[in-house]
Copies of this chain bind each other. A is one copy, B any other.
């Protein structure tokens, strides 16, 4: 016994002495950190065994995830049983366990119920669903409870996704670059697929399944025809095989002229029978390799991409031709409403509405129109897109941008939860008060069965996936809101922080507070009061409100702010572009008058004199400057908060965030100073009392150039 004791002592010391695995962010919110003795015992008591009968790949993944997680959190590996036993997690579907003591009605194919029950006198936790995928979602819910310190007793949870298609859009190119990617190259190793399938693909699927994402568009909407060639179909199929057990379908972006480029057709006219036949045959080829292929995403007649309008056909003609090809296989077409630049518009913000509103009712029933949250392009703040509420006969799919092209890219901490929520909660008044965008995209307002939401991924090959630890929160928040748009951004931030760092409230409270104000801070230091699109050309990194010489008017920041000696802002009322008429009358009336327009959107809708009085009583100019300063000050505050958390965060992740906050603070100051220097050169107004002059003159800011900025296509 003494020898055994010594042996075990030695072993314990041996193992304790091993270097701890660096917190490099790879594990995302699935860290399953050791829970401590008390909590570990609690978790163990609820996971003594994993009881399940199914043996599908999905069920195997669910069991494996539970084993890995519980073992890592508690140090005790749960047993595997087929019948539920005391303290077990019982994974039950109608197919594997006929007598489930909970109703599965309303849970659909992906939802689940979790209930603490007595089973033959034994306390167990039932995770029940209509399908194995539902079970997988359920175990991730239970693991979220376990990781965040929630009670595991008396559970009675029912959850099903509100939105049917919850997709990531990867703007990943076949050469490994990522358009608007700030986290390194694409995680798709196209070159070595389908032969080499590294472990990262599985971890990608796990992460997505854990937040309910059920589809992924693999390639950039600015697509290459080769994505549909046989070798690339085989590569996509290899990924689909890996993702399938996690309930994630694969979709592809297509280039409109693929039939011409790949097979020498003379036209891509959607009404040409040869073109339709080509797409039919190509679709059949894809479905032979990927039987559950999801469908196509199309960017057509936008920013130089070809499309049906090149053949005097409508977007609906194009979408419906593709829809017919995928229909038999159960596939869908997602047709993007992000179109601009046919002609110089009177107002770029109006074009999508003008092009698509007349097509409402003309799309096949397996077509969705995918609409960005705002009418311009993923700005720090935009009013909601006027197509929401305007196309009641067409299922509209939301397109958010998770990658922060305009919100600080890889280094600024600007949590997007509040941005997503602002759009989802926006009331379109399409069918009276309460016609929120969430109700439009979940289909409830207009009675659509086909529903969807997409997020442009912020994922790359960087070890931490998203370019920074805090950018992971945006991926997480997108998934959680796609499942349930009613969640609050703050509750999501709390979950994420608890799982990513620690459930210690000394850490959670200040981190969540930082996160919650961070997006508004970016609005303040970049584009306050409804300004937009003042970023530098091409890479959109940093301020360049002075740019005025690009070929098309709407490429220039001056087009958006319209600042002159007298005032600033884009008049979208009747006296201007009248874009406000695209909204429901109740909204349009409010927006017609600056006094009833939310100040956060003031200069989006109105051109106002510099001495216009804000609600605070200060002039528009003074209010602008004060907002710039407030944004910079918020970042300084985040730096102080983070510094105070040093004892509670591992050195590696602490150092990354510390470095990035320093960059953010410097760049917030740069935005503020460059913007003020420029606007002062136009309005010649003094700064409000106490405001610092910019550190450099305007020419200094204009001269800065960044030829190697990432993410630029």
Chain A residues near B (Cβ < 8 Å): 5, 8-19, 21-22, 24, 68, 71-72, 74-77, 174-176, 184-185, 190-192, 195-199, 226, 410-411, 461-463, 652, 656, 659-660, 662-663, 707-710
Contact = CB atoms under 8 A, between A and B. Distances in A.
Identify whether the interface residues of A are mostly helix, strand, loop, or mixed: loop
Contacts of A5: 5, 8
Given A8-B12, A17-B76, A22-B199, 12 more contacts: A13-B76, A14-B76, A17-B71, A174-B708, A184-B461, A191-B708, A191-B709, A195-B659, A199-B652, A226-B707, A226-B708, A461-B461
Given A17-B75, A68-B19, A710 B663 contact: no
Give 10 nearest A-B pairs by CB, closest first. Answer: A14-B75, A196-B659, A15-B15, A12-B12, A174-B708, A175-B708, A11-B12, A17-B71, A195-B659, A8-B12
Contacts of A199: 22, 24, 652
Contacts of A17: 71, 75-77
Nearest to A656: B196
A660 B663 CA distance: 41
Contacts of A190: 708
B410 A192 contact: yes
B195 A662 contact: yes
A208 B80 CA distance: 46
Contacts of A15: 12, 15-16, 75
Contact of A656 (B74, B184, B198, B660): B198
Nearest to A69: B19
Contacts of A707: 174, 226
Contacts of A709: 191
Contact of A18 (B19, B72, B463, B660): B72
A192 B463 CA distance: 15
A223 to B, nearest CB: 13
A174 B174 CA distance: 21
Contacts of A9: 8
Nearest to A13: B75
A660 B13 contact: no
A61 to B, nearest CB: 15
A196 B469 CA distance: 13
Nearest to A24: B199
A23 B199 CA distance: 11
A12 B70 CA distance: 16
B191 A710 contact: yes
Contacts of A16: 11, 15
5 contacts: A11-B12, A13-B76, A19-B71, A175-B710, A196-B663
B24 A21 contact: no
Contacts of A21: 21
A175 B21 CA distance: 31
Contacts of A196: 411, 656, 659-660, 663
Nearest to A652: B199
Contacts of A11: 12, 16, 75
A16 to B, nearest CB: 7
Nearest to A175: B708
A462 B663 CA distance: 26
Given A195-B662, A198-B656, A185 B461 contact: yes
Nearest to A705: B226
A18 B68 CA distance: 8
A536 to B, nearest CB: 14
Contacts of A22: 199
Contact of A75 (B8, B18, B174, B185): B18
A461 B187 CA distance: 12
A238 to B, nearest CB: 11
A191 B660 CA distance: 12
A34 to B, nearest CB: 8
Contacts of A24: 199
Contacts of A659: 192, 195-197
A470 to B, nearest CB: 13
A514 B410 CA distance: 43
B71 A18 contact: yes
Nearest to A15: B15
Contacts of A14: 74-76
A264 to B, nearest CB: 13
Nearest to A657: B196
Of A11, A68, A77, A662, most buried by chain B (CB within 10 Å of CB) is: A11
A704 to B, nearest CB: 10
Contacts of A195: 659-660, 662-663
A649 to B, nearest CB: 15
A57 B22 CA distance: 21
A540 to B, nearest CB: 14
A663 B197 CA distance: 13
Contacts of A197: 659
A435 to B, nearest CB: 43
Nearest to A712: B175
A192 B411 contact: yes
A461 B13 CA distance: 35
A8 B8 CA distance: 7
Nearest to A182: B191
A22 B660 CA distance: 29
